[in-house]
Amino acid sequence: METTTTKVNLKTEALKNGAIWGVINLVIFLVTWYLMPSLMSSYVYVAITAIIGIALAVFFCIDLRKKAGGYWSFGEALWPIFAMFLTAMAIVYICTNLFGKFVDPTYPVKMKELSMEKMESMYKSMGMAEADMAKALESATESLDKQFTPTFSQAVVGFGIAAIFYFIGALIFALIFKKSNPNPWQEPEEAKIEA
């Protein structure tokens, strides 16, 4: 008699899924940047990437739950989901910063210009006074500099803030995708003793 158990390492699977998700996001970023850079500052791009991101998060959470045996508690779901979210975010965050510094230094400049144009047209459509608009644009310039050309300390702080938001997202997804085993005393198929 031999007992066979095939236990999947959820940490490894979460990191693998996060890496795949991060690479998909990078491909979307690069394709958009080289084919339609003006789209990157639009709400359409934000909406499309948000929809794709949510769809990928759902897909990868379901995949992790299947690999966990189909059932997992909130606590069992939270850390693999957070690790997956954080891995995807880290890949995109680090690669886009490196892209702007070393691969295409025009990226931060162009993105800042596009964002400033968008804000200026929005402020004008709101009927904002010229003096107020100048102050708002000056403040926006400083914020955009931190976003697109951050110093090392600004990048670390930005990453930390993003990680907090991704942890909140992981909490929500863990609540959504937790699934209790209706028969917790039943022996899993993989652990059954083979004759």
Give per-residue pLDDT as tens, 5-56. 447 899 999 999 999 999 999 999 999 999 998 888 888 999 999 999 999 9
Tokens for 63, please give them: 């995949």
Which burial class, exposed, middle or buried, applies to 15 when counting CB atoms under 10 A from its CB (0-12, 13-18, 19+)? middle
More confident residue, 126 or 183: 126
Give per-residue pLDDT as tens, 108-157. 989 888 888 888 888 888 888 888 888 888 888 888 888 888 888 988 99
Rounded distance, CA 113 to CA 115, Å? 5
Q: At what angle do helices 130-148 and 106-125 cross, to 10 degrees?
A: 150
Q: How confident is the model at residue 189 (pLDDT cuts 50, 70, 90)?
A: low
- Average the pLDDT over 77-104 and give the result: 95
Rounded distance, CA 189 to CA 71, Å? 13
pTM listed for this prediction: 0.81
Cβ within 8 Å of residue 133, ≥6 positions away? 120, 123, 124
Return the pLDDT at 184: 66
Beta strands in the chain (DSSP E): 2-3, 193-194
Yes or no: say if 168 and 151 are a contact pair by the CB < 8 Å rule: no
Beta strands in 14-60 (DSSP E): none
Tokens for 73, please give them: 């508690």
Q: How confident is the model at residue 187 (pLDDT cuts 50, 70, 90)?
A: low
- Average the pLDDT over 95-118 and give the result: 90
Among residues 72, 54, 53, the alpha carbon closest in space to that of 13 is found at 72
Yes or no: say if 177 and 81 are a contact pair by the CB < 8 Å rule: yes
The residue with tokens 């993003």 is 162
Say yes or no to pLDDT of 77 above 50: yes
Say yes or no to pLDDT of 85 above 80: yes
**Domain assignments of the chain as residue spans, ordered by start:** 2-194
